[in-house]
Chain A
Amino acid sequence: MTDQELLSLLRQRDPGAFKELRKLYPMCRKRILELGVSEEDSKDIFQDSIIILYEKTQRADFTLTSKISTFLYGICQNKALEVQRKKRKDDAFKEHMAKEVALNETEENESTLPDEEQIRQALHKLGPPCREILGAFYYHLASIKEISEKLGYKNENTARQAKYKCMQRLKETLSKPIS
Chain B
Amino acid sequence: MINDENKTEIIDLYLEGSLSEELQREVEERMQTDPLFRQEVAVQKKVIKVIQEEERSKLKEEMKVIFEEDDNQQAKVIPIQRSRFSYAVAAAVSLLLIAAALFFVLRPTDAEVQYLAVSLPTGTRGELPDGVPKKFPVQIDADNQQYNFHYQLGDTLKLYGSFSWENLSLVFEPNRRNYMMLTPQDTFLLLPSETIQPLQP
Contact = CB atoms under 8 A, between A and B. Distances in A.
Given A107-B38, A108-B38, A116 B50 contact: yes
B59 A54 contact: yes
B119 to A, nearest CB: 13
A22 B39 contact: no
Interface string B22-66: 000000000100000011111110111111111110111011101
Interface string B60-88: 10111011011000000000000000000
A51 B59 contact: yes
A37 to B, nearest CB: 18
A167 interface: yes
Contacts of B42: 106-108, 113
Contacts of B17: none
Please provide the 9 A-B residue pairs with the shortest distance between their CB atoms, ordered closest to farther.
Answer: A139-B55, A108-B42, A119-B50, A135-B55, A15-B66, A16-B123, A138-B51, A139-B52, A16-B122
Contacts of A131: 54
A138 B8 contact: no
A108 B39 contact: yes
Contact of B66 (A19, A112, A116): A19
B48 A18 contact: no
Interface stretch (A26-34, A84-92, A145-153, A168-176): A168-176
A54 B56 CA distance: 10
A51 B58 CA distance: 11
Contacts, number: 88
Interface of A: 13-16, 18-20, 22, 47-48, 50-51, 54-55, 106-108, 112-114, 116, 119-120, 123, 131, 134-135, 138-140, 164, 167-168, 170-171, 174
Contacts of B67: 18-19, 22
A116 B9 contact: no
A109 B160 CA distance: 76
Nearest to B42: A108
- Interface SS of chain A: helix, strand, loop or mixed? helix
Contact of B70 (A22, A106, A134): A22
A67 B73 CA distance: 28
B47 A119 contact: yes
Interface string B1-21: 000010011000000000000
A48 B53 CA distance: 12
A86 B96 CA distance: 67
A157 to B, nearest CB: 12
Given A112-B39, A138-B52, A164-B8, 12 more contacts: A48-B60, A50-B63, A107-B42, A113-B46, A114-B46, A120-B50, A123-B54, A138-B51, A164-B5, A167-B8, A171-B40, A174-B43
A19 to B, nearest CB: 5
A9 B7 CA distance: 35
Contacts of B38: 107-108
A69 B138 CA distance: 34
Contacts of B31: 107
B43 A51 contact: no
A58 to B, nearest CB: 11
A90 B8 CA distance: 41
